[in-house]
Structure 1
């Protein structure tokens, strides 16, 4: 009797393994049948049969168990190699689970009931060979690096850097200067000494998320360093002035945000302040007119616009100018533009009404938080120029996307540019209203005062995914780059970067002004990063492409009543990923990978620009973009770009109005449904994720890359960032390559910095090769663009805001941290 019980006990491990195999096999078989009916791979059906039968045979303690499982594992190994090669992260969901069960079946206490059978030694050997081959495949894949591009940006004589394109001891504007290069001419920190960087100081602003805040509360601030002071803003639009060497607070300003009729801020879409702007009257001596001469190499096409600007404001009141000779301009989350005395933090009373202008004037009604400037204005000699955010896909009756220029001294409106009425730039009269729902400019604006041009990255008319009722102005200017006359606001040139945009490919990043070496000599350029992956490079004088732009055929077949453009522009300089295929679907296990394959075959996907549809379409690159508001960093001396492209697929599905639940708040809560009130369709937008919450497309999902501008090519690229802070169970720091939300910065020392990855690090890289040189652990998400400056102690500092990002899912905080090389004795 005891022997009988003992015998049954020895069978339990094998039976347990058999039951697990049977259940997994049946699940794989069911999914495999579904995938085959959609025209997908037969592997899952056949492997499902093999695993199911292996489980049944194990339960029955049949000698064929090991043979059949060996054959299934061997075939799986061959199939995986055929489909993805030696790509470790692609092999994981295809082989790892079956490899583990192969080892389990080889364990003596599992296979003991099969040992006495005649073919056990041979079958054990067969399974051992299959397991060894799978292990060898995994081992070999450790020595490959798919998706990595090795190279070095060529060494050449440094290009002369226009001072207007580089920050120096100070960092006077969000993007370093009004050129937006994110470049510091400081070179104390080099690839040789960057490992010695240490934390110099940190502060906490005290502005933390509260119970009544929106989910998308974000700390995206890049501080300024001017006037021997650091100036930064917090998500709730508070301004802090800090000592650059210690972080000690000099003054603080709280605008006391209005709820605009809401009970709290939770119903607002965003709560963001990317930065403030600075104006110093001493930078523009009244006795000296604006230098209207373009740089010498473009004399042949010189502009008179700067002289026009100088004449327009030649008689500005000296009394008004002297009241606040140094100003900080703060855009607030309740739609105001406030001017503060940079020395004291007091309001500049002569600006507007008691130091502020009402940006909601002329816009009409909107829901609380539905309009305000998330990005800092651009400030020139006489103007502060600002656009605004509108809530995406809430309705077709949103506020205007007007861009307005105010006098820096007294805040009167000088001109306005509304794409719905683009020629009428004369200030809008009291009681009149700008064009409702015209495309907006929510990102940072750039300006070239010598050419007399201001450059606008333009968004879309709502809704993003349905364009049948768009206006003429929207069709002309949306998703494009528009250059306006600085003095008058009139359009000087424009380039549309997505035709009839149905994918939320609004232009997200600040245009970058730099000088580019070409075979025809140096040309003044504007570089525009885009969500779709193109880096457009135009002559900033006239919009002529410096790097060719091709019109590529685009998928057709929009929803009834709408249309798609037959072609879409694509720059020959781009960081587009390969198109998705069924084989590029991913998952943590074979099962969620199988579900992703089924979803891929069920959704509409014909490559980039697949139109939105009723069944659902894949948007890749997704609407978060290859590039977003963080943009890229340009080293004008090396003729190099340092950037961090993202690769995340999204899905969109048009929902007929009749199918939208009557309780619209409930309908949109937590399910990605955007209501598009006034349009015939709502839209479901969400990341393309597996059932376990992992991206459905294989990694890398975020890279760092280096571009040689003189050669117009990507030179190096590699996955960047780990899963340490996004693993669902335990913090596993796998170097997958994770998305980054936040911009890069680069320096004359050849070191570039990035802090925006999902894992909480500030990293330093060699811009020439892309090698990661140093990293510092951050206490929260660093979804902001770092900056650099020289302190009073002579040291070069690198500073980053570390506050997290509500919609990106990183840890929230309220830190500002500065790093520097150790002080020399």
Structure 2
């Protein structure tokens, strides 16, 4: 009976090889017809030939498979070099099948019935040795690749050499704005934690908000993205469901909590709060009447209000807004539809102004609320000016009975401010819908996907710089502009550093928008959609993390079959590099609208004149779907939910096309392009040179089996840097907060988080004299990271 089973092994194995061969050869013909790699057709024939020889119980099957293994290895080295993950995807199936062919059940049946003594005397047949040698070569090359990192840039950042004056009113141990100050550097002058002791960090306290996604009306993107403020000895933060909390900064004890009673049943795309605005008290001001509030916290809500709270007890500052401590951001809005306009990012706060923008739905329709930017009196809440990019020259407060321009480009991210220059710097989004631009407002189009400098006093445009012309890719400016003084040509220049989704970091003179690092216009592909036009050129900075265009050799998967499927998928899409316009055929968008950089932005060390960045690389696809009417759901399907998520997202009512969007992934849901997908990097802001760049993060929390492979994963949530020579990041898609040596990029410490850390951390000084690192771990709905409600403070052990 055992002998019978052994004799059937080649037959069964042969059938498997034949099926694999037919599938691979057939797909290989398809790929060749699309202009792709030639390898898969002969490989499929090779698999089939091995199957036929196994069916005949011929020892030549081992010779044939040895040739297949060796040929695949040679082709893999030619395409991928000594890069382990691409090598693994190409060689895994031939290697595993080769091991099976060397098992006794197959080999004995192929050698025929000879007595054991004769088999021993004869030794292994040459075919068996040849196959073993081919498999050994795969192992040897794999071992060589394990000791190399083809994607690593080694180097060193300079030592600190420039002065870094602190903005007035922000003590070194505090954090008064989203980016610590209105300049948005995410730089702390604290140096108690440094490279010599960071490995000793431990949890000092943990606070649970009790606010976790999962309520009936929650959209998919219900996320805990807040960066708390630290003022005096208190921390101030907001939660996804719009509560504001004050904690003791040293112990984590809750001091007060206020629920802002947001309207229920909103059809929101996002439900989050990234932070609060803060205005410090005026030391020269007279005693305050009840409700005046010497200091103020400002919170924009998901139902379209701007609320002013007293940091002392969370009560309303009733002088603001005429008695109730809030202003209605729906005032003057066209197309009022609760949930279609709201602000997820903190406002800019100066001594006299509160400046707020808001998000407008990307792809629901062509007629949405306005993307107007408004400045309110920080004391009374009176509207001081409004800048509507669809009507940019009229900034006087909108009179009763009039409305702002519908669907004008909006600013959903965080703005920055230079009070000395009297300018607020606004990162602008795109006019909806994102992938169809033939009917956009010409005035708004000028400011779409641009950084715009507005006069603090009047709201008028002082200058603007467009990072994408006629944006058709959702490449809106996602991140807060960072303001830093740079030493260039022997003089100090006030600069603005603007990261973008497409990977550019533009370095501009913040006085007039003039590029300080060279910017060139490069040719871009034309649109093939009737009536649409794509810009003939696009701007590229001398400081760029834009990845090379994808090729067939860059495709990847868990096996050679998934890689083959991705190669076919790539060839079926329109792709002529970055800025390939959307199409009916389907377009590959790389980098995708997840962005090389997103709202987390970058951190800048003003003393070293460098930027610490977290570039991410994920490809997406977009496919235009012709619309015949303005009621049918073409991309959402018949069962689109009516609450919690937007039923019309990507339908583009009013446009001739809906759009189907998604990540470019294999049948297993794994990115089709090879890893790494995420890095940490440092670059010199005065030269544009990338100083070092390392893959970052593991797939421990992304794979079905928690294997900590360091493949390099994206992060969502920004970094910070400190005078201690460290950078901190918690936003990677594995659940860790990490510390890096800012000079070399080496990871020095990591702490395991109980949930996804998709927020920007911060650091401060406690009443006990210790420096604390604060991390929010709440997860991210659309990324699928673990939900949580954790606020975690780390510190060095008490002496």
Equivalence for 2:95: 99
Task: Tell me, yes or no, if structure 1 residue 349 matches structure 2 residue 349.
Answer: no
Indicate which of 549, 562, 565 corresponds to 2:535.
565
TM-score (norm. length: structure 2): 0.95
Once the two structures are overlaid, the 10-residue window that deviates more, 509-518 or 107-116, is 107-116
Q: CA deviation at 1:119?
A: 12
Deviation digits for residues 640-682 of structure 1 (CA, Å, limit 9, x no counterpart): 2111011000000111103998246525859997101110000
Task: Tell me, yes or no, if structure 1 residue 732 matches structure 2 residue 707.
Answer: yes
CA distance in 2, matches of 1:547, 1:458: 21
Equivalence for 1:716: 692
CA distance in 1, matches of 2:169, 2:61: 70
Indicate which of 729, 733, 737 corresponds to 1:758.
733
Deviation digits for residues 391-415 of structure 1 (CA, Å, limit 9, x no counterpart): 1100011100000000111100000
Cα distance change, pair 167–735 in 1 and its aligned pair in 2 (3 A): farther
CA distance in 1, matches of 2:720, 2:364: 34
* Contact 1:38/1:598, CA 8 A, preserved across alignment: yes
Indicate which of 238, 242, 246 corresponds to 2:243.
238
Equivalence for 1:290: none
Cα distance change, pair 392–514 in 1 and its aligned pair in 2 (3 A): same
Deviation digits for residues 501-529 of structure 1 (CA, Å, limit 9, x no counterpart): 11111000001011112124211001111
* Contact 1:724/1:759, CA 8 A, preserved across alignment: yes
Equivalence for 1:279: 279
Task: Tell me, yes or no, if structure 1 residue 134 matches structure 2 residue 138.
Answer: yes
Indicate which of 602, 616, 619 corresponds to 2:572.
602
Q: CA deviation at 1:221?
A: 0.3
Task: Tell me, yes or no, if structure 1 residue 408 matches structure 2 residue 374.
Answer: no
Task: Tell me, yes or no, if structure 1 residue 258 matches structure 2 residue 263.
Answer: yes
Q: CA deviation at 1:592?
A: 1.0
CA distance in 2, matches of 1:128, 1:660: 64
Task: Tell me, yes or no, if structure 1 residue 176 matches structure 2 residue 180.
Answer: yes
Q: CA deviation at 1:735?
A: 0.5
Q: CA deviation at 1:16?
A: 3.4
The number of residues matched between the two structures is 783
* Contact 2:630/2:654, CA 8 A, preserved across alignment: no
CA distance in 2, matches of 1:634, 1:672: 39
* Contact 2:730/2:758, CA 8 A, preserved across alignment: yes
Equivalence for 1:586: 556
Cα distance change, pair 600–321 in 1 and its aligned pair in 2 (3 A): farther
Indicate which of 625, 633, 637 corresponds to 1:666.
637
- Within a 5 Å distance, the mapping from 1:417-816 to structure 2 comes to 417-658=387-628, 662-663=632-633, 665-666=636-637, 669=640, 674-727=650-703, 729-816=704-791
Q: CA deviation at 1:167?
A: 6.7
Indicate which of 6, 9, 31 corresponds to 2:27.
31
Deviation digits for residues 223-245 of structure 1 (CA, Å, limit 9, x no counterpart): 00003210000001110000001
Equivalence for 2:50: 54
CA RMSD for the aligned pairs? 1.9
CA distance in 2, matches of 1:544, 1:710: 14
SS at match of 2:18: helix
- Within a 5 Å distance, the mapping from 1:270-309 to structure 2 comes to 270-282=270-282, 285=284
Equivalence for 1:305: none
Deviation digits for residues 106-139 of structure 1 (CA, Å, limit 9, x no counterpart): 1222211122499971111111111111111111
Q: CA deviation at 1:489?
A: 0.3
* Contact 1:500/1:564, CA 8 A, preserved across alignment: yes
Cα distance change, pair 448–113 in 1 and its aligned pair in 2 (3 A): same
CA distance in 2, matches of 1:622, 1:478: 18
CA distance in 2, matches of 1:558, 1:270: 33
* Contact 1:445/1:511, CA 8 A, preserved across alignment: yes
Q: Which runs of 5+ in 2 are unaligned?
A: 114-121, 642-646
CA distance in 2, matches of 1:458, 1:672: 23
* Contact 1:673/1:685, CA 8 A, preserved across alignment: no
* Contact 1:668/1:674, CA 8 A, preserved across alignment: no
* Contact 1:550/1:569, CA 8 A, preserved across alignment: yes
TM-score (norm. length: structure 1): 0.92
CA distance in 2, matches of 1:178, 1:213: 32
* Contact 1:673/1:683, CA 8 A, preserved across alignment: no
Deviation digits for residues 689-715 of structure 1 (CA, Å, limit 9, x no counterpart): 000000011111110001122332111
Deviation digits for residues 570-591 of structure 1 (CA, Å, limit 9, x no counterpart): 1101111111001101111111
* Contact 2:391/2:444, CA 8 A, preserved across alignment: no
Once the two structures are overlaid, the 10-residue window that deviates more, 758-767 or 156-165, is 156-165
Equivalence for 2:80: 84
Cα distance change, pair 36–669 in 1 and its aligned pair in 2 (3 A): farther
Q: CA deviation at 1:762?
A: 0.3
SS at match of 1:429: coil
Q: CA deviation at 1:162?
A: 4.2
